[in-house]
Chain A
């Protein structure tokens, strides 16, 4: 199957700093990628839809100025958590699809963010 690579796998940062997470589709082009957030023992909450060449579409309640998304190319999307706070500590995971409706979403390995 298609491969989605997410980096870094884990990161620890200080409060107030920014952290960038990269998501790459390695063997297919992804016009659209999705960013999720997952708290322990909870499911994936869709944060935003990342669109190549245009602005991201954010879900209700997600601060777009805090979670900056850039979809620079058909194989790369980045999520930057700005001015991170301890409550931003979570598991962030991206996904992409190689095709349209009905094709499975391939997930990156996820990034464990801890803000201290």
Chain B
């Protein structure tokens, strides 16, 4: 089966840095995505990693280690609007390139 694990909830302070971890065990791997989702809305794309290493995009960075089945999303200079759920998703190889999601991490940013 497919297994993608993330912490359920995290809290952080405005202006701080937070790291959201994701571990996965899947039958096939063709990249890992991070999405942000506000309550009642569709997920929006944040990052994509297919090779090991760090991808930086403004205040957001994402890291991948394929050998460890591990990724993290790093959010810097946190803002109140960053309060949302962050979804880790694995692109399965073969077939239709299905995207399988972890349970998501609800991040609450406090003043």
Nearest B residue to A41 by beta-carbon distance?
B106
Which B residues lie within 8 Å of A108 (CB)?
A: 42
The A/B interface has a contact count, at CB < 8 Å, of: 62
Alpha-carbon distance between A93 and B45 when the two chains are bound, in angstroms: 15
A110 lies within 8 A of B42 (CB): yes
Q: How many residues of A sit at the interface, in one of the four size bands?
A: 20 to 34
Q: What is the 8 Å Cβ interface bit string for chain B, positions 90-107, against chain A (1 contact, 0 not)?
A: 010101111111111010
- A51 and B43 within 8 A (CB): no
Which listed residue (A42, A46, A102, A107) contacts B98, Cβ 8 A?
A46
B97-A104 in contact (CB<8A): no
- Say if the beta carbon of A112 comes within 8 Å of chain B: yes
Residues of B within 8 A of A1 (CB): 45
Taking CB atoms and an 8 Å cut-off, the chain A residues in 69-116 that contact chain B are: 91, 93, 95, 97, 100-102, 104-110, 112
B96 and A104 within 8 A (CB): no
Contact A101 B96 (CB under 8 A): no
A109 close to B98 (CB less than 8 A): no
* Residues in A neighbouring B87, C-beta threshold 8 A: 43-44
Determine if A57 is an interface residue (Cβ-Cβ < 8 Å): yes
Question: Which residue from B41, B44, B50, B100 sits with its C-beta under 8 Å from A46?
Answer: B100
B58: which A residues are within 8 A, CB to CB?
A: none
B window 38-81: CB within 8 A of A: 40-45, 48, 50
* Chain A positions within 8 Å of B48 at CB level: 102, 104
- The answer, yes or no, to whether A49 is at the interface (CB within 8 Å) is yes
Interface status of A67 (Cβ within 8 A of chain B): no
- Whether B96 contacts A42 by the Cβ 8 Å rule is no
Taking the complex as formed, is B30 at the interface, i.e. its CB lies under 8 A from any CB of chain A? yes
Query: With an 8 A cutoff between CB atoms, is B33 at the interface?
Result: yes
Q: From the candidates A34, A57, A97, A102, name the one contacting B50 in the complex (CB within 8 A).
A: A102
